[in-house]
């Protein structure tokens, strides 16, 4: 019993110290190990398997919209990077440089990709000549390096995994349509697979991607009320095309510049999964993304027939398409239950001598610990129902948390007080002036999260300066 208690105590309660809770979860759920390289993490099998499932799900959704995968070099020559000045300035503080090849100094420094816009631009300048070559709708799965000063597993690391889509289109309208389309792909994925509700909107000019004409974002709210930017989609307009000379001959035989987009989601989203759904016992994984969806736990497994029946159930569930494991270790059932909970496995099935005698087993949900007794032959069908309900309930709880933590404010003193005292986002009107945005950040540390697509008129004037308002904006502290 003491050992079982100790297992639970490995996770600090989130109400006591949220940052420590997060660190405890990523370590004890066996998602990562810290590496000997500052700011870099090792993804353990449990953590990498989540990313593999994200990759599989997202990739299928991308391809359904006509996306093709490519792979680009990880090095960018400095001269190529310098072609787009605004973009370079945005990334300059975070860039890692290769200066030597073997023992020899390179004639030109190579940047380890922080993102691959310039490489894709170089490619498109070579392969796009005619309107018949368009659109180009490419994506790559890779790692990028950004030399961050402060790091935290998944949320901010020197190297991280992601996908980056880069497209080229004949017209501004086509580029904008693709930009919004991919934002919606991310939003649907987060809802349908990760059970994460979101706010969707446009970034302010100050917060948009360096070199972009417009940036659109999905913002999730964590348990502690902070925002996590969970995916972005950028309309580049023709700025990069002009910098790199990406032109095509249109149907009238006239030269035109292409219009480009870029969109990405990274391993950061695993941080969102942890902080939206986790509890004081550890990780709580949405069933559709969990590497293991159900753990079969035999009770009194040394008694005759118990392990055999547990294996039968495991094999039947695997045949029905579930990702299933059997815990036949010599640990106590209580320890196994705690372990399953820390790892975030969405369900477990308990089977012991009395259950076998009665022809039944017990299905236990991870999120609510609700127990359901079912006939053994109906376990697969019932488990499917339970996991679907678990996904739905997880989404609804997160949705309720998000929408109960949105505060409408029209007075600046109230704005500052609300940001300081109430975890969540503030809805307030904004004049569109960057000076007000900077003042709000200076006074509260909150930033503009997005200008939502669905606008509300809370007042006629900016909450900060009192000048006529242009937009309703979500404001909040963020990771």
Do 318 and 454 reside in the same domain of the chain?
Answer: no
Number of H helices, E strands in the chain: 15, 23
- B/e letters for 254-270, b = 16+ CB within 10 Å, e = fewer, are eebbbbbbbbbbbbbbb
Do the beta carbons of residue 204 and residue 451 sit within 8 Å?
A: yes
Do 339 and 203 reside in the same domain of the chain?
Answer: no
Token output for 64: 């359904």
Do the beta carbons of residue 243 and residue 83 sit within 8 Å?
A: yes
CATH at 302: 3.40.50.800
Please report the pLDDT score of residue 83 as a whole number: 85
Question: How confident is the model over 247-302, as pLDDT tens digits?
Answer: 999 999 999 999 999 999 999 999 999 999 999 999 999 999 999 999 999 999 99
* End position of a domain, from candidates 277, 305, 335: 277
Do 19 and 167 reside in the same domain of the chain?
Answer: yes
Distance (Å, rounded) from C-alpha 309 to C-alpha 303? Answer: 11
Do 195 and 238 reside in the same domain of the chain?
Answer: yes
* End position of a domain, from candidates 247, 277, 307: 277
Nearest to 276 by CA among 197, 218, 226, 222: 222
Please report the pLDDT score of residue 9 as a whole number: 73
Do 378 and 472 reside in the same domain of the chain?
Answer: no
Please report the pLDDT score of residue 7 as a whole number: 56
CATH at 40: 3.30.930.10
Do 91 and 201 reside in the same domain of the chain?
Answer: yes
Residue 369 is assigned to a structural domain of this protein = yes
Do 270 and 417 reside in the same domain of the chain?
Answer: no
Residue 235 is assigned to a structural domain of this protein = yes
**Residue 386's Cα: distance from chain center in Å?**
25
Please report the pLDDT score of residue 94 as a whole number: 87
* End position of a domain, from candidates 249, 277, 305: 277
Distance (Å, rounded) from C-alpha 277 to C-alpha 220? Answer: 12
Do 382 and 433 reside in the same domain of the chain?
Answer: no
Using CA atoms, how far residue 100 sits from 37, 75, 109, in Å, is 19, 13, 8
Residue 458 is assigned to a structural domain of this protein = yes
Q: Write out the residue range of the structural domain in which residue 145 sits.
A: 10-277
Please report the pLDDT score of residue 3 as a whole number: 44
Do 381 and 443 reside in the same domain of the chain?
Answer: no
Full pLDDT tens readout for the chain, 479 residues: 344 445 557 899 999 999 999 999 999 999 999 999 989 999 999 999 999 999 999 999 999 999 999 999 999 999 998 887 766 677 778 899 999 999 999 999 999 999 999 999 999 999 999 999 999 999 999 999 998 888 999 999 999 999 999 999 999 999 999 999 999 999 999 999 999 999 999 999 999 998 899 999 999 999 999 999 999 999 999 999 999 999 999 999 999 999 999 999 999 999 999 999 999 999 999 999 999 999 999 999 999 999 999 999 999 999 999 999 999 999 999 999 999 999 999 999 999 999 999 999 999 999 999 999 999 999 999 999 999 999 999 999 999 999 999 999 999 999 999 999 999 999 999 999 999 999 999 999 999 999 999 999 999 999 999 999 999 999 999 99
Total domains in the chain come to: 3
Do 228 and 306 reside in the same domain of the chain?
Answer: no
Q: What is the pTM of this model?
A: 0.95
Residue 288 is assigned to a structural domain of this protein = no
For the chain, give the percent of residues with pLDDT over 90.
93
Do 370 and 445 reside in the same domain of the chain?
Answer: no
101 CB-contact burial (10 Å; exposed 0-12 / middle 13-18 / buried 19+): exposed
CATH at 428: 3.30.110.30
Question: Of all helices (H) and strands (E), which one includes residue 58?
Answer: helix 45-64
Please report the pLDDT score of residue 412 as a whole number: 98
Distance (Å, rounded) from C-alpha 458 to C-alpha 471? Answer: 10
Residue 85 is assigned to a structural domain of this protein = yes
């Amino acid at each position: 019993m003491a050992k079982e208690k100790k297992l639970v105590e490995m996770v600090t309660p989130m109400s006591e110290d949220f940052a420590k809770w997060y660190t405890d979860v990523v370590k004890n759920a066996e998602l990562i190990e810290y590496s000997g390289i500052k700011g870099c993490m090792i993804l353990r099998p449990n953590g990498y398997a989540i990313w593999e499932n994200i990759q599989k799900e997202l990739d299928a959704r991308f391809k359904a919209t006509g996306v093709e995968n490519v792979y680009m070099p990880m090095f960018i020559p400095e001269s190529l990077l310098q072609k787009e000045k605004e973009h370079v300035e945005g990334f300059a503080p975070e860039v890692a440089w290769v200066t030597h090849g073997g023992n020899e100094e390179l004639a030109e420094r190579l940047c380890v990709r922080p993102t691959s816009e310039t490489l894709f631009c170089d490619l498109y300048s070579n392969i796009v000549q005619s309107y018949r070559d368009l659109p180009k709708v490419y994506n790559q799965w890779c790692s990028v390096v950004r030399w961050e000063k402060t790091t935290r597993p998944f949320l901010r690391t020197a190297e991280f995994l992601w996908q980056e889509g880069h497209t080229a289109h004949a017209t501004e309208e086509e580029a904008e349509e693709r930009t919004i389309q991919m934002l919606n792909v991310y939003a649907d994925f987060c809802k349908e697979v990760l059970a994460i509700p979101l706010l969707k909107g446009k970034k302010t000019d100050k917060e948009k991607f360096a070199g972009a004409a417009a940036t659109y974002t999905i913002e999730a709210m964590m348990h502690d009320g902070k925002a996590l930017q969970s995916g972005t989609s950028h309309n580049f307009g023709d700025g990069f095309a002009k910098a790199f000379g990406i032109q095509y001959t249109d149907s009238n035989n006239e030269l035109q510049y292409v219009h480009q987009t870029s969109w990405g989601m990274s391993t950061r989203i695993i941080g969102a999964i942890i902080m939206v759904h986790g509890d004081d016992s550890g990780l709580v994984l949405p069933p559709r993304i969990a590497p293991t969806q159900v753990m079969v736990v035999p009770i009194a497994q040394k008694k005759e027939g118990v392990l055999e029946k547990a294996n039968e159930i495991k094999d039947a569930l695997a045949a029905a398409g579930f990702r299933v494991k059997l815990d036949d270790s010599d640990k106590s059932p209580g320890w196994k239950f705690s372990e399953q909970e820390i790892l975030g496995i969405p369900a477990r099935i308990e089977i012991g001598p009395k259950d076998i005698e009665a022809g039944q087993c017990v299905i236990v949900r991870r999120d609510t610990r609700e127990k359901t007794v079912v006939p053994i032959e109906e376990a697969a069908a019932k488990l499917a129902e339970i996991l679907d309900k678990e996904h739905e309930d997880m989404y609804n709880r997160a949705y309720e948390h998000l929408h109960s933590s949105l505060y409408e404010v029209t007075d600046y003193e109230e704005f500052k007080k609300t940001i300081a005292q109430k975890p969540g986002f503030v809805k307030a009107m904004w004049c569109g002036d960057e000076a007000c945005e900077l003042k709000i950040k200076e006074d509260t540390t909150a930033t503009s999260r997005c200008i939502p697509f669905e606008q509300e008129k809370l007042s006629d004037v900016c909450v900060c300066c009192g000048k006529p308002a242009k937009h309703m904006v979500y404001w909040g502290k963020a990771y």
